[in-house]
Amino acid sequence: MTAIRFGYQGDFETAVKLVLVAAVLDGLDGPLARLMRCQSAFGAELDSLADFVNFGVAPGLIIYVWALQDFSAGWMAVLGYAICCVLRLARFNVTSKSDTEDAKSEFFEGVPSPAGAQLAMLPMYVSFLFSDMPLASPVFIAGYLLAIGLLMISRVPSFSFKNISVSRENAKFLMLGFVLLISALLIFLWATLALMSIIYFVSLALVYRAARKST
């Protein structure tokens, strides 16, 4: 909600940073709940409601104010993105409550909503990084936003890190990579986020290709 407020005030960099903070907190809430032994069905439902606001509503409204206010079809793209996000969350909730192999898979079906929000804001990262560059066409931004929404509800496989375990021998490399990533985000925030988004797109293509070969 605060990210939306900053967006409507024209402080887009702060608005985007707050959505990123929400993504970090979304990754921490589950492990913290399990660590404190206070996980519950209520918390699971609340998590999905928060995800819809954080990653379905906030990014769409921020992008709308940033680039789509003067484009008549821009609002339709924002609505489409938000609808795709809530459908993605509903499908995830149903799948996660089942005992099927899909619920325990190393891959998600479609792009998760936090990742979708980060991908949706890629044009903003590029704009902040190259402030002298003209803003992309509203038609392109609206189409891109809607395409990310469709990726969320698609059957395209994407990495799920929840069921991936790291051996003790490789833990030091994971820690090193994490420290380097945090350092890059602190020093070169927009460049790092743009690069991470591009790497994520490449990973989707690689996973999809691998899945096609295995079938």
159-169 pLDDT tens trace: 776 656 666 77
Among residues 152, 158, 118, the alpha carbon closest in space to that of 21 is found at 118
The model carries a pTM of 0.89
Tell me if residue 158 falls in helix, strand or coil. Answer: strand
Condensed to tens digits (0 to 9), the pLDDT of residues 19-41 reads 999 999 998 887 788 888 888 88
Domain count, the chain: 1
Alpha-carbon distance of 126 to 147, in angstroms, equals: 18
- CA 201 to chain CA centroid, Å, is 12
How does residue 215 score in pLDDT terms, banded at 50, 70 and 90? Answer: low
Residues whose CB falls within 8 Å of the CB of residue 144, separated by 6 or more in sequence, listed in order: 120, 122, 123
The three-point CA angle 154-89-21 to 5° equals 110
Mean pLDDT of 131-153: 93
Q: Which residues contact 118 (CB under 8 A, 6 or more apart)?
A: 19, 20, 23, 193, 196, 197, 200
How much is the pLDDT for 13? 96
The answer to whether the CB of 116 falls within 8 A of the CB of 151 is: yes
Q: Domain range for residue 126?
A: 2-214
What was the pLDDT predicted at 129?
93
What is the percentage of the chain residues whose pLDDT exceeds 70?
A: 90
Evaluated on CA atoms 203, 166, 109, 121, the torsion sign reads negative
Q: Annotate 17-69 with DSSP letters as a single string.
A: HHHHHHHHHHHHHHHHHHHTT---HHHHHHHHHHHIIIIIIHHHHHHIIIIIT
Nearest C-alpha neighbor of 117 from the set 26, 76, 52, 56: 56
Nearest to 18 by CA among 31, 41, 1, 35: 1
Question: What is the DSSP secondary structure assignment for residue 133, as one 8-state letter?
Answer: S
106-139 confidence digits (pLDDT tens): 677 889 999 999 999 999 999 999 988 888 899 9
The rounded distance, in Å, linking the Cα atoms of 121 and 11 is 15
Question: How far is 139 from 81, CA to CA, in rounded Å?
Answer: 15
Identify which of 54-63, 98-107, 132-141, 202-211 has the greatest average pLDDT.
Answer: 54-63
Confidence class of residue 214 from pLDDT cuts 50, 70 and 90?
Answer: low
